[in-house]
């Protein structure tokens, strides 16, 4: 548990430790007021039974004189008023104390979830290559919440109840030492026995539940994301069966957690009632009269009335803490790992404003790269030069390294060996400045469930959108052709992942998005693969007219896409095996000829 608390404190903000101390002090006062109220009720009951006793207490006579109290009746009146005021103040303080505690806890949830989401959004590209998005979604949306609701709240409640228990126990020992010590030892033994028998299974089930939460998100994403394929192949039952299997495991874990945390209360109540009766019998056997037992029984009754919920809360919250303790691991691990990455910067204002100057060429110098978890090199000793204003193509079979080379030029990956220079400057010395020069069109365009306008200008507020530039890129990318047929045109909502659009329409929106920010370099990774031949030619011809101010890097299987490029680089097994224009490669390279013939065959 020491390791657990170290991780817990490390996740918190620097100033949170002092806030926790303030909360603890507030809990101590809450416990003090609770004991004071119990004691005052016991005194009041004694006063009701024999008010003359209080009237004859010498230490209180100055107070009686000041308040002009001359009779037992007046003592009861003032005592009633005092008791009411005490309870009003105590309960008001409790409400304020719990408000402060809840505000602290749920503000931590907001801070932790935002910080974690920020770390994921600013994480290196390789981090996302090795992680399943369902785990990341779970961590931000669920584990961060559980960290606040099921770890912070139990920790604070446990601290509160421990203070309360110590205070009440001390009070009872002072009033009746022998009975209180024996009773507390017995209750403590029962508590320890219960916790010992459940704590390990709670942690095991908690870890199981965490894994199943991630699997549920994953199966939902896969089932709904592939709805078309699933429906056509009639595979709904597979996804439903998987979901049912996962949810059954999760429900079993939750059942054990709830039963273990709630089953202790009836046991505790039985012990408490039995203890009260034993106390009465013991005191009567010692010769105490029934009248003398009233105040003692009142104290024990009120104390147990507060002690039972405190012990029950302690057991329940401890069970919650053990069950959900695994929630801290993924959050802490990602915090710890990503916070050490140089690319990560949570201050959005620190993003570089100046573009990296690009006026001559891009040089790839002796570049080698292997993905972190893969030993074989994807690229090996690659060198090439791309002149400004030219269009070049990377061609080769699947897995040859074309996309990896593009990702390196984009700055998403960092070379293992070698450099990428722009006008002689290493792009990683000013990566954000270099990326301001880039437009990127992937094979699969990510679209939000929003309007076409907001998808083209992704991440901009309405007040930031340049309508003139938007109109320009809509025409260049051939988006205008289908948008004009829509009732709301650019303000048409396209559905999740652009489900209401055709593949070609989604691709053209992606091209418009890439061109919106006036890039100097446009990288297209199979970007026209979803377009029909006529639309592809129109888009390529439109982009080809921008050569004077755009440098084009095109990755393609369909060689018609790169037919008009100034230079082609043929990549095989991570190396450049041939370079030349389309016609030059077609004349001398048999493998290129085969690729060209295959393309023509598919276009018939």
What integer is the mean pLDDT of 417-426?
89
pLDDT at 151: 84
In a domain, 349, yes or no: no
**Torsion sign, CA atoms 10, 15, 21, 27:** negative
Q: For residues 454 and 319, state if they share a domain.
A: no
In a domain, 230, yes or no: yes
Instruction: For residue 543, give its domain range.
Output: 356-603
What integer is the mean pLDDT of 55-67?
69
Q: At 377, is the pLDDT very low, low, confident or very high (cuts 50, 70, 90)?
A: confident
**Torsion sign, CA atoms 478, 484, 490, 494:** negative
- Per-residue pLDDT reduced to its tens digit, 440-499: 888 778 887 788 888 888 877 888 888 888 888 888 877 787 888 878 888 888 776 666
364, 384 Cβ separation under 8 angstroms: yes
CATH number at residue 205: 1.20.1560.10
In a domain, 345, yes or no: no
Q: Which of 338, 373, 392 represents a domain boundary (last residue)?
A: 338
Residue 387 phi/psi, 5° resolution? -80, 145
Reduced 3-state DSSP string for 291-351: HHHHHHHHHHHHHHHHHHHHHHHHHHHHHHHHHHHHHHHHHHHHHHHHCCCCCCCCCHHHC
Tell me what percent of the residues of the chain surpass a pLDDT of 70: 74
Q: For residues 432 and 328, state if they share a domain.
A: no
If one counts the domains in the chain, the total is 2
Q: At 343, is the pLDDT very low, low, confident or very high (cuts 50, 70, 90)?
A: very low
How far apart CA 361 and CA 364 sit, in angstroms, is 10
SS3 content of the chain, % helix, strand, coil (to 5): 70, 10, 25
Tell me what percent of the residues of the chain surpass a pLDDT of 90: 0
Q: Is the pLDDT of residue 520 over 80?
A: yes
Q: Is the pLDDT of residue 353 over 60?
A: no
44, 83 Cβ separation under 8 angstroms: yes
The angle that helices 177-225 and 153-175 make with each other, rounded to 10 degrees, is 170
Q: Order the strands of the 551-555 sheet from edge to edge.
A: 438-441, 521-525, 551-555, 391-395, 567-572, 575-580
Q: At 303, is the pLDDT very low, low, confident or very high (cuts 50, 70, 90)?
A: low
303, 275 Cβ separation under 8 angstroms: no
Region for residue 445 given its phi and psi (left: phi exceeds 0; alpha: psi -120 to 50; beta: otherwise): beta
Token couple for 324: 């959900």
In a domain, 591, yes or no: yes
pLDDT at 231: 67
Owner of token pair 């009836």:
266
How far apart CA 548 and CA 388 sit, in angstroms, is 9
Q: For residues 411 and 302, state if they share a domain.
A: no
How far apart CA 474 and CA 506 sit, in angstroms, is 13
pLDDT at 541: 67
What integer is the mean pLDDT of 313-337?
80
Quote the distance between the C-alpha of residue 68 and its chain's center.
Answer: 64
Q: For residues 7 and 123, state if they share a domain.
A: yes
Q: For residues 183 and 280, state if they share a domain.
A: yes
Q: For residues 333 and 410, state if they share a domain.
A: no
Long-range contacts from 395-399, C-beta under 8 angstroms, 24+ separation: 395/555, 395/556, 395/557, 395/559, 395/562, 395/568, 395/569, 395/570, 395/571, 395/592, 395/595, 396/570, 396/571, 396/572, 397/572, 397/595, 398/557
pLDDT at 299: 65
Average pLDDT of the chain?
77
DSSP string, 414-448: --SEEEEEETTEEGGGSHHHHHTTEEEE-SS----
Q: Is the pLDDT of residue 344 over 50?
A: no
User: How many Å from the N-terminal Cα to the C-terminal Cα in the chain?
Assistant: 68
In a domain, 207, yes or no: yes
Quote the distance between the C-alpha of residue 454 and its chain's center.
Answer: 25
Q: At 538, is the pLDDT very low, low, confident or very high (cuts 50, 70, 90)?
A: low
Q: At 601, is the pLDDT very low, low, confident or very high (cuts 50, 70, 90)?
A: very low
In a domain, 89, yes or no: yes
Q: For residues 370 and 480, state if they share a domain.
A: yes
What integer is the mean pLDDT of 415-443?
87
- Per-residue pLDDT reduced to its tens digit, 169-201: 777 777 667 666 776 676 677 667 666 776 677
477, 486 Cβ separation under 8 angstroms: no
Q: Is the pLDDT of residue 352 over 80?
A: no
pLDDT at 295: 58
Q: Which of 306, 338, 370 represents a domain boundary (last residue)?
A: 338
Q: At 287, is the pLDDT very low, low, confident or very high (cuts 50, 70, 90)?
A: low
In a domain, 351, yes or no: no
Q: Is the pLDDT of residue 25 over 70?
A: yes
What integer is the mean pLDDT of 160-165?
78
Q: For residues 94 and 216, state if they share a domain.
A: yes
pLDDT at 379: 86
Q: Which of 292, 309, 338 represents a domain boundary (last residue)?
A: 338
How far apart CA 263 and CA 316 sit, in angstroms, is 9
Which range among 297-301, 513-517, 538-542, 597-601 shows the weakest confidence by mean pLDDT?
597-601
Q: Is the pLDDT of residue 26 over 80?
A: yes
Residue 382 phi/psi, 5° resolution? -90, 130
Token couple for 89: 């103040």
What integer is the mean pLDDT of 585-593?
84
Q: At 603, is the pLDDT very low, low, confident or very high (cuts 50, 70, 90)?
A: very low
pLDDT at 524: 86
How far apart CA 384 and CA 326 sit, in angstroms, is 49
Could you tell me how many helices (H) and strands (E) the chain has, helices first? 24, 10
pLDDT at 346: 42
In a domain, 439, yes or no: yes
pLDDT at 572: 86
CATH number at residue 410: 3.40.50.300
Query: Element (H or E) spanning 571, and its range?
Result: strand 567-572
Token couple for 544: 């080809």
pLDDT at 290: 56
Q: For residues 309 and 423, state if they share a domain.
A: no
Q: For residues 320 and 373, state if they share a domain.
A: no
Q: For residues 315 and 461, state if they share a domain.
A: no
Q: At 374, is the pLDDT very low, low, confident or very high (cuts 50, 70, 90)?
A: low
How far apart CA 81 and CA 83 sit, in angstroms, is 5
Q: For residues 319 and 422, state if they share a domain.
A: no
């Amino acid at each position: 548990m020491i390791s657990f608390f170290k991780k817990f404190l490390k996740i918190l903000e620097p100033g949170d430790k002092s806030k926790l101390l303030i909360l603890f002090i507030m809990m101590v006062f809450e416990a003090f007021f609770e004991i004071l109220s119990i004691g005052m009720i016991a005194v009041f009951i004694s006063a009701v039974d024999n008010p003359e006793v209080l009237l004859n207490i010498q230490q209180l006579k100055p107070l009686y004189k000041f308040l002009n109290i001359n009779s037992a009746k007046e003592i009861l009146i003032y005592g009633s008023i005092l008791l009411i005021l005490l309870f009003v103040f105590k309960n008001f303080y409790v409400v304020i104390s719990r408000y402060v505690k809840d505000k602290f806890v749920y503000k931590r949830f907001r801070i932790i979830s935002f910080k974690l989401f920020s770390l994921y959004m600013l994480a290196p590209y390789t981090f996302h290559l090795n992680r399943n998005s369902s785990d990341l979604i779970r961590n931000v949306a669920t584990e961060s919440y559980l960290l606040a609701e099921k770890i912070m709240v139990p920790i604070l409640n446990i601290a509160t109840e421990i203070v309360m228990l110590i205070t009440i126990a001390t009070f009872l020992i002072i009033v009746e030492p022998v009975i209180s010590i024996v009773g507390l030892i017995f209750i403590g033994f029962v508590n320890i026995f219960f916790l010992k028998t459940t704590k390990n299974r709670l942690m095991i089930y908690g870890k199981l539940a965490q894994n199943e939460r991630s699997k549920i998100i994953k199966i939902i994403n896969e089932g709904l994301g592939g709805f078309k394929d699933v429906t056509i192949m009639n595979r709904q039952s597979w996804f439903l069966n998987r979901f049912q299997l996962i949810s059954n495991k999760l429900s079993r874990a939750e059942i054990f957690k709830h039963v273990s945390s709630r089953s202790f209360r009836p046991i505790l109540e039985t012990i408490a009632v039995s203890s009260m009766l034993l106390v009465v019998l013991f005191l009567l056997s010692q010769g105490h009269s029934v009248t003398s037992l009233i105040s003692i029984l009142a104290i024990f009754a009120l104390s147990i009335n507060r002690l039972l919920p405190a012990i029950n809360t302690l057991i329940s919250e401890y069970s919650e803490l053990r069950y959900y303790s695994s929630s801290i691991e993924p959050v802490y691990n990602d915090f710890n790992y990503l916070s050490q990455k140089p690319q990560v910067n949570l201050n959005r204002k620190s993003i570089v404003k100046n573009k990296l100057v690009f006026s001559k060429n891009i040089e790839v110098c002796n570049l080698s790269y292997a993905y972190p978890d893969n030993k074989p090199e994807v690229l090996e000793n690659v060198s090439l030069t791309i002149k400004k204003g030219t269009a070049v193509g990377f061609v080769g079979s699947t897995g040859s390294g074309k996309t990896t080379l593009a990702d390196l030029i984009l700055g998403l990956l960092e070379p293992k060996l070698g450099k990428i220079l722009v006008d002689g400057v290493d792009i990683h010395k000013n990566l954000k400045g270099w990326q301001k020069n880039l437009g990127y069109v992937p094979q699969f365009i990510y679209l939000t469930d929003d309007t076409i306008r907001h998808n083209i200008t992704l991440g901009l507020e309405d007040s930031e959108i340049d309508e003139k530039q938007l109109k320009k890129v809509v025409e260049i990318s051939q988006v205008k052709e289908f948008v004009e047929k829509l009732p709301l045109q650019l303000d048409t909502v396209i559905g999740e992942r652009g489900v209401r659009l055709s593949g070609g329409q989604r691709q053209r929106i992606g091209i418009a998005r890439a061109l919106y920010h006036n890039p100097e370099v446009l990288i297209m990774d199979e970007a026209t693969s979803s377009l029909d031949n006529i639309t592809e030619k129109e888009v390529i011809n439109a982009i080809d007219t921008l050569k004077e101010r755009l440098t084009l890097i095109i990755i393609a299987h369909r060689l018609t896409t790169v037919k008009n490029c100034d230079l082609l680089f043929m990549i095989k097994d991570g190396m450049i095996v041939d370079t030349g224009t389309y016609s030059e490669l077609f004349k001398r390279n048999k493998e290129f000829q085969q690729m060209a013939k295959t393309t023509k065959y598919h276009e018939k």
